[in-house]
Amino acid sequence: MLQNNITVGVVGSGAMGAGIAQVAAVAGHPVVLFDSNATALEKAKNNLTATLQKLQEKGKIGNAAEIIGRFSFAADMNAFKDCGLIIEAIVEKLDVKKTVFSELEKIVAADCVLATNTSSLSVTSIAAACTKADRVIGLHFFNPAPLMALVEIIPAVQTEPSLIPLAKALMLQWGKAPVITKDTPGFIVNRVARPFYGEAIRIYEEGIADIATIDWALTTLGGFRMGPFTLTDYIGHDVNYVVTETVFSSFFFDPRYKPSFSQKRLLEAGWLGRKTGRGFYNYAEGAIMPEPNKDAALGQQIVDRVVAMLINEAVEALHLNIASAADLELAMTKGVNYPKGLLQWCDELGAEEVLDTLDQLYNDYHEDRYRASVLLRKAVNEKKKFL
């Protein structure tokens, strides 16, 4: 089970599936890349060949032809019969994934590990489609998989415990930064990062600041690489909004994860961001980008509010044992490139200052959205740090 020389199968030849296949092949594994769409499969084959040749030219890999030779491109799932690990990377629809896992189980050997790359669905629900559910696990890569170091390892309720360290060891061998997280909505990154988008949009909707000013504040003053509006336009609102909606409903409609009408309207208009030329910003040729209001006091108010919400989410995840403190920090720095881990940020600001910001918001709004984690309050009362 999960030997270094296993054949790795990947279901789905889209950007994510092809990226994962590339990572496995570069790490030395024979790889079977499957797609029922012959055109998509051919496109993936051509793109992978071109990508690996470019990497060889830049001196980042050895012999590209040798790595390409490790691939088999299959339009029939029976090609997976000798695989030791299969990673599914298809559409985020639970019924579709469950059907695929049920089909895979009929083909592969009893000791083949079945992994899902889901970013927001229950791994436990996917595993329930299998008779041998103990060999199912979540391996959530981030896009683009060859460049992004983070992999969230998500054991289902049914997962054999001994599989977890084996999966971690394999990801380390692949040059990744693995973290282990409970099977809860959004796992680590897509849960903890929600306020970066949601609270920023709330500030915009309330008319406190416009999108350019909020983006300016969080990049220039907050140190984030991209502002939330630039980032959601880059990700695509068809992806980002759907994750928010999924997390919100999966958490029994907890107001902390409530989606926004502003983003929903963009989705309805087909203004999905950069890929359609319009999102929060207009990317049409000749369009003038809005100028931010570089008021330092306003900017700091925005940063304090968004960062306090992010810290509270990380502290609550720690409180509920979603992941260890070290894995929470690694996930947010490697998965979404935050300037520092949120627990470290809390220690530097002081838990009391973060709690004061949240309590003031709660007093102003009287919304459960702004409730402070009991662990944050405890840290203040006991004068403790998180790291």
The pLDDT-based confidence of 87 (bands split at 50, 70, 90) is: very high
Chain mean pLDDT for the chain: 96
- Domain annotation covers residue 375: yes
223 shares a domain with 146: no
To 10 degrees, the CA torsion angle through 75, 76, 77, 80?
A: -90
Confidence band for 13, pLDDT divided at 50, 70 and 90: very high
* Residue 185 forms part of a structural domain: no
Helix (H) or strand (E) holding 194: helix 194-205
Q: What share of the chain is helix, strand, coil (3-state, %, to 5)?
A: 55, 10, 35
Do 132 and 261 sit in the same domain of this protein?
A: no
Please answer whether residues 169 and 180 qualify as being in contact, where contact means their C-beta atoms are separated by less than 8 angstroms. Answer: no
| Tens of pLDDT, residues 227-259 | 999 999 999 999 899 889 989 999 999 999 999
151 beta partners: 141, 178
H or E element in which residue 74 lies: strand 71-74
Residue 116's pLDDT is what? Answer: 98
Cα-Cα end-to-end distance for the chain: 35
Closest CA to 313 of 375, 259, 263: 375
Residue 169 contacts residue 321 (beta carbons within 8 Å): no
> Does residue 318 lie within any of the structural domains?
yes
How far apart CA 301 and CA 312 sit, in angstroms, is 17
Do 282 and 142 have their domain in common? no
pTM given for the model:
0.95
Final residue in a domain of this structure, among 150, 180, 210: 180
Phi-psi region of 28 (alpha: psi -120 to 50; beta: other; left: phi over 0): left
Q: Does residue 1 belong to any structural domain of this protein?
A: no
Q: Residue 187 and residue 179: Cα distance in Å, rounded?
A: 10
Same domain, 54 and 99: yes
CA pair distance 75, 206, nearest whole angstrom: 51
Closest CA to 336 of 249, 212, 228: 228
Q: 371 and 273, same structural domain?
A: yes
User: Comparing C-alpha atoms, which of 313, 332, 330, 322 is closest to residue 376?
Assistant: 313
Q: Taking Cα atoms as reference points, which of 226, 201, 196 lies closest to residue 211?
A: 201
Q: What DSSP line would sit under 361-381, residue for residue?
A: HHHHH--GGGPPPHHHHHHHH
Model confidence at 120: pLDDT above 90: no
Compute the average pLDDT of residues 51-78.
95
Backbone angles phi, psi at 170, to 5 degrees: -65, -45
Q: Are 147 and 119 in contact (CB under 8 A)?
A: no
| 3 belongs to a structural domain | no
Strands 85-88 and 113-116: parallel
What does the block give as tokens for 5?
Answer: 């020389």
Any domain includes 186? no
The residues annotated with a catalytic role in the active site are 119, 140, 152, 190
What CATH number corresponds to the domain at position 21? 3.40.50.720
Distant-in-sequence, close-in-space partners of 57: CB < 8 Å, separation ≥ 6: none
> Both 248 and 313 in a single domain?
yes
Residue 1 has pLDDT above 80, yes or no: no
Do the beta carbons of residue 293 and residue 210 sit within 8 Å? yes
332-351: per-residue pLDDT in tens?
999 999 999 999 999 999 99
Examine residue 315 and state whether it is found in any structural domain, yes or no.
Answer: yes
Residue 146 has what pLDDT? Answer: 96
Answer yes or no: are the C-beta atoms of 18 and 34 closer than 8 Å: no
| Same-domain status, 172 and 89 | yes
Same domain, yes or no: 213 and 151: no
Task: Give yes or no: residues 119 and 208 share one domain.
Answer: no
Which of 146, 180, 214 is where one domain is finished? Answer: 180
- Check residue 179 and give its pLDDT: 98
Q: What is the pLDDT of residue 52?
A: 96
Q: Does residue 125 share a domain with residue 205?
A: no
- Please compute the mean of the pLDDT values over residues 123-135 and round it to a whole number: 97
Is the backbone peptide bond immediately before 144 cis, with ω within 30 degrees of 0?
Answer: yes
Task: Report whether 94 contacts 242 (CB < 8 A).
Answer: no
Q: Give the pLDDT confidence of 174-197 residue by residue, as tens digits.
A: 999 999 999 999 999 999 999 999
* Domain boundary residue, one of 133, 161, 180: 180
Average pLDDT over residues 73-81: 96
Q: 204 and 318, same structural domain?
A: yes
Q: How far is the C-alpha of 192 from the C-alpha of 92, rounded, in Å?
A: 20
CA angle 25, 30, 35 (to 5 degrees): 85
> How many domains in the chain?
2
Is residue 387, in this structure, part of any structural domain at all? no
Q: Identify the domain containing residue 85 by its residue range.
A: 8-180
In 84-133 the beta strands, taken as DSSP E runs, fall at: 85-88, 113-116
369 and 281 belong to one structural domain: yes
Query: Residue 243's domain is classified under what CATH number?
Result: 1.10.1040.50
